Amino acid sequence: MQHVFSVDVEEHFQVAALASRVSKAAWASHPSRVEANTERCLDILDVASAKGTFFVLGWVARRCPKLIGRIVARGHELASHGMAHDRVTDLGAKAFSQDIQEARDVLQDLGGVSVDGYRAPSFSLRPEMDWAYAALIEAGYRYSSSVYPVRHDHYGAPDAPRQAYRPLADARFVELPMTTARVARMNVPASGGGYFRLLPYALSRRLLRRVQERDKTACVFYMHPWEIDSEQPRVAGLPWRSRFRHYINLHRTESRLKALLNDFSWARMDQVFSREIAQPENLPLIAQVRR
């Protein structure tokens, strides 16, 4: 079974954990490391003969235009992460529509390919946000991978479906949730990110295999380029929780990533879920799942 390898392409200083100390007005003054880190990700995937989907910030694309072409040229799917890492709930309907349209236009112009996928920053798109899904459809997107069915203090929709579903009844659009393993009637995160750095690799591998064997479905894994960059500048004055979440085990991520790529088969989102994206009418509607 092939699983989805995805990368949220953003700078090390653009994450929510650092927002209390790094304002957007100061982004341009911080040293950029995203291009070099993403190139390392591309090289690691090449060695493993793996492909993936790169959800790129429009902010990054405009500053590293050649990187977009290299992602496409090396056979990966180009997708959108919005323009400037704003949470959907912070933008509101009008600003959100402008954000996702601008990001898609920027990426398509630079990549020369259709951009069909979207991932909300900080997994801030919730299943009940019909207005946001309607905006994505209007902008030309075909799928979202933005819902994380877990309970978390910063994000998550613990009651959301764990498998692919239709968020709107009258639209050909699909939501592809982040992967969770069902353990003791709880959703346990199994999608990568900070949990991949925090948990022992053997446990991460076991959770993915549990989903593969019990649910008989493909998993969605994600990472950020800065997570393989243990030498990134440290931001001073962070609350202990933010410091812990962002910097824990950065020095171990690359070796774990190489093991992960060897232990499972990985491909692009639009390939792994090609049937679901092409025929969303065959998927359950969220209203039906919740009954």
pLDDT tens-digit map of 96-155:
999 999 999 999 999 999 999 999 999 999 999 999 999 999 999 999 999 999 987 677
Statement: residue 289 has pLDDT above 90: no
Greatest alpha-carbon pair distance for the chain in Å reads 50
Nearest to residue 136, comparing CAs of 169, 179, 93?
93
**Burial of 114 (C-beta count, 10 Å sphere; 0-12/13-18/19+):** middle
Q: In the Cβ-directed half-sphere of 136, how many Cα atoms lie within 13 Å?
A: 30
E strands, the chain, where?
2-9, 53-56, 77-80, 117-118, 143-144, 174-175, 180-183, 186-189, 220-223, 265-267
Confidence at 291, pLDDT banded by 50, 70, 90: very low
Statement: residue 273 has pLDDT above 60: yes
* pLDDT value of residue 207: 97
- Rounded to the nearest 10 degrees, the angle between the axes of helix 34-47 and helix 250-263 is 30
In which residue are the tokens 């990001």 written?
A: 103
Average pLDDT of 8-24? 94
Assess contact for 55 and 122: CB atoms under 8 A. no
- Rounded to the nearest 10 degrees, the angle between the axes of helix 201-210 and helix 250-263 is 40
Q: What is the mean pLDDT of the chain?
A: 95
Statement: residue 196 has pLDDT above 50: yes
Query: Which tokens is 174 given?
Result: 């699909």
Nearest to residue 184, comparing CAs of 204, 207, 155, 201?
207
